[in-house]
A and B are shown apart, each in its own frame.
Chain A
Amino acid sequence: MNKVYDTCDAAVTGIFDGATIMIGGFGSFGGLPRNLLVALTKQGAKNLTIVANAGGVGFELSKRIKPEGYQDSGVLYENGQVRKFIGSVPALGGMPPTAPLEKAYNEGKIEIETVPQGTLAERIRAGAGGLGGFYTPVGVGTVVEQGKEKKVINGREYILELPLTADFALIKAHKADTLGNLVYKGTARCFNPIMAMAAKVTIVEVDKLVQPGEFDPEVIITPHIYVDRITEVPR
């Protein structure tokens, strides 16, 4: 069984119109599967639902984060490939309202579901772990509780949150072995390991590919059974 793909373009084949896609990372550059995102724009799947912590800022505004600029998920909204975004920071208040997702939203082209960040993480874990949901105190008394079941447990109010899963996850890890075991680097871990576990097909971009046995089993963060496709983008 070969999980290794020569290019990002090859690794994103089969992503279909209407798919739900989780995109790893946190918000800016570190941890983002940037090369897979670019490949997805070329691949062209449409009507997508994106699950990601942040909506990205697009290439122009990214220069405020990294002077030479970089491509984030903003390019998907610019391309009109996305129907719905689910995440905790669709737009950054510190950036002008010209980021691609915010622009598309203000033009009525995209639906947004805003989820508290910890609730987002837990919904993904619930989906990954086969749970039907969970009760959380986060969002009680705010707009987040609207339309949700409430329950008092041990005298405290909670709201019911439902699991999230995806058809595909685009993940950035530091290294993989050819079986698919993953290790991450620094704060670039963030949403990557939990999203890798919550998708039917998990596609991973790594800085370096190694042979099985090269990792100390004690340091592996994502076990290989969660990984379907790996592509190396050396840096």
Chain B
Amino acid sequence: MKVRLDEQTIALRAANEFEDGSVVNLGYGMPGLCANFVPEDRQVFFQSENGVLGYGELAPDEEKDYELINACDQPVTRQPGMCFFDSGISFDMIRGGHVDIVVLGAYQISEKGDLANWGRPGRPATGMGGAMDLAIGCKKIIITMLHTTREGKSRIVKECTFPLTAKECVDMIITDLAVIEVTGQGLILREIAPGWTVEEVQAVTEPKLVVSPDLKEVEL
């Protein structure tokens, strides 16, 4: 049976990338779900732009404490060792390379790893928030997104037509159809959603994919 991974499953797959002891920032939307999927044997420190390091899982909305939220306005839980700081220190951490992994959403990613994830057509007033700083400063950039637009067009493109967040910054793309690594040798197709063939995924991906010799079904 052909399956498109749902948002929870994409977040679960992304969270598998978090190594023990890593500092991780989660972007708006699907990436935020990763906070609930940290593998049990690993300790991860979640950093958020508004000035918190080491928060726990997301809290239920009805228990919302507006002074304990992440940058996506989601209520989070306290955890021993959690600390707060101002926006200046928060972005020192981000720009200065002290955040190991950031998971972001995207409108488009180019085959070179250029990222476009903030400017929306018809909405000139939307801003980039902290995305440009995160894309420049974090050591590993993972994108979680749907593989295609509502109209079925590839979000992975030869050249981005949307406003860029940063050039050549993306390391890994996790979609509802595939896990793709962005390398100097091109886009490596590493994992594929259950029931899909390489040809079917390639057909909805604008640039040419390089199929990994170890290609497997998405590993959860």
Q: Which residues of A contact B (CB under 8 A)?
A: 26-31, 53, 55, 65-66, 87-94, 97, 101-102, 105-106, 112, 114, 116-122, 124-125, 136-144, 184-194, 221
A/B interface sample: 13 pairs, CB < 8 A = A65-B73, A89-B127, A105-B124, A125-B88, A136-B95, A138-B133, A138-B136, A140-B136, A140-B166, A187-B68, A188-B66, A190-B86, A194-B86
- Distance in angstroms from A105 CB to nearest chain B CB is 5
B67: contacting residue among A53, A91, A188, CB under 8 A: A188
A28: contacting residue among B69, B127, B164, CB under 8 A: B69
B95: contacting residue among A28, A87, A114, A138, CB under 8 A: A138
A101: contacting residue among B28, B68, B88, B125, CB under 8 A: B125
In the docked arrangement, what's the CA distance between A192 and B163, Å? 30
- Contact digits for B71-112, partner A, Cβ 8 Å, 1 yes 0 no: 101000000000011111011001100000000000000000
Q: Which residues of B contact A (CB under 8 A)?
A: 28-29, 48-52, 65-71, 73, 84-88, 90-91, 94-95, 118-120, 123-133, 136-137, 163-167
In the docked arrangement, what's the CA distance between A31 and B68, Å? 10
Question: Do B123 and A93 touch across chains, with their CB atoms under 8 A apart?
Answer: yes
Which B residues lie within 8 Å of A119 (CB)?
A: 132-133
Given A122-B88, A142-B163, A189-B85, 14 other A-B residues pairs in contact with their CB atoms under 8 A = A31-B50, A65-B73, A88-B128, A93-B120, A97-B125, A105-B125, A106-B125, A116-B133, A118-B95, A120-B87, A121-B87, A140-B167, A186-B67, A186-B68
In the docked arrangement, what's the CA distance between A94 and B66, Å? 19
Can you list the 8 inter-chain pairs with the closest CB atoms, starting with the nearest?
A: A118-B91, A118-B133, A186-B67, A91-B125, A117-B130, A141-B167, A30-B66, A116-B132
B87: contacting residue among A91, A94, A137, A194, CB under 8 A: A194
A122: contacting residue among B49, B52, B91, B166, CB under 8 A: B91
Which B residues lie within 8 Å of A192 (CB)?
A: 86
In the docked arrangement, what's the CA distance between A97 and B120, Å? 12
A191: contacting residue among B28, B86, B166, CB under 8 A: B86
Question: Do B123 and A97 touch across chains, with their CB atoms under 8 A apart?
Answer: yes
Main secondary structure of the interface of B (DSSP, over half): loop
Question: Do A28 and B136 touch across chains, with their CB atoms under 8 A apart?
Answer: no
Which A residues lie within 8 Å of B130 (CB)?
A: 88, 116-118
Question: Do B67 and A185 touch across chains, with their CB atoms under 8 A apart?
Answer: yes
Question: Do B66 and A66 touch across chains, with their CB atoms under 8 A apart?
Answer: yes
Nearest chain-B residue to A222 (Cβ)? B86
A31: contacting residue among B67, B128, B136, CB under 8 A: B67
Nearest chain-B residue to A101 (Cβ)? B125
Which A residues lie within 8 Å of B65 (CB)?
A: 186
Nearest chain-A residue to B120 (Cβ)? A93
Nearest chain-B residue to A64 (Cβ)? B73
Which A residues lie within 8 Å of B126 (CB)?
A: 89-93
Given contacts A30-B66, A121-B87, A141-B164, contact A187 B129 (CB under 8 A): no
Which B residues lie within 8 Å of A112 (CB)?
A: 125
Question: Do A102 and B88 touch across chains, with their CB atoms under 8 A apart?
Answer: no
- Distance in angstroms from A80 CB to nearest chain B CB is 17
In the docked arrangement, what's the CA distance between A32 and B192, Å? 45
Which A residues lie within 8 Å of B28 (CB)?
A: 94
Task: Find the residue from B50, B65, B164 having the highest chain A CB count within 10 A.
Answer: B50
B129: contacting residue among A89, A140, A190, CB under 8 A: A89
Nearest chain-B residue to A29 (Cβ)? B66
Which A residues lie within 8 Å of B48 (CB)?
A: 187
